[in-house]
């Protein structure tokens, strides 16, 4: 996994270089962006194919309601063994809605 925490234009340059060299994203190497650059309006215009299959830190507002599929996903996660309703446990942490 390659982790980036860059803002544009540096992030776009790194992503395109990784893609052009066949490093990431690929079947063996994930590309994770921790800066939330996919929310930028010019993201797809600048990265094109290099942005496909990228893992992204999604920004949200705590008062924003999840979509209907989010509520369905929350049930199995929040009731998993070793997980409290808030998503914390001694074994693992899961952030849920």
What DSSP designation does 51 have? G
Q: Is 11 exposed, middle or buried (0-12, 13-18, 19+ CB in 10 A)?
A: buried
Between 78 and 52, residue with greater pLDDT = 52
Structure tokens at 7: 């803002």
With bands split at pLDDT 50, 70 and 90, how would you rate the model's confidence at 70?
confident
User: How are beta strands 31-33 and 55-56 bridged, if at all?
Assistant: parallel
**Residue found under tokens 């063994």:** 81
Residue 54: asked if its preceding bond is cis (omega within 30°), the reply is: no
Instruction: Give the pLDDT confidence of 5-21 residue by residue, as tens digits.
Output: 999 999 999 999 999 99
């Amino acid at each position: 996994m390659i982790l980036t925490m860059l803002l544009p234009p540096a992030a776009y340059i790194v992503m395109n270089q990784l893609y052009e060299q066949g490093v990431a994203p690929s079947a063996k190497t994930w590309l994770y962006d921790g800066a939330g650059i996919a929310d930028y309006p010019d993201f797809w215009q600048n990265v094109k194919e290099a942005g496909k299959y990228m893992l992204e830190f999604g920004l949200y507002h705590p008062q924003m309601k999840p979509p209907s599929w989010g509520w369905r996903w929350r049930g199995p996660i929040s009731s998993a063994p070793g997980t409290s309703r808030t998503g914390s446990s001694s074994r693992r942490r899961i952030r849920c809605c």
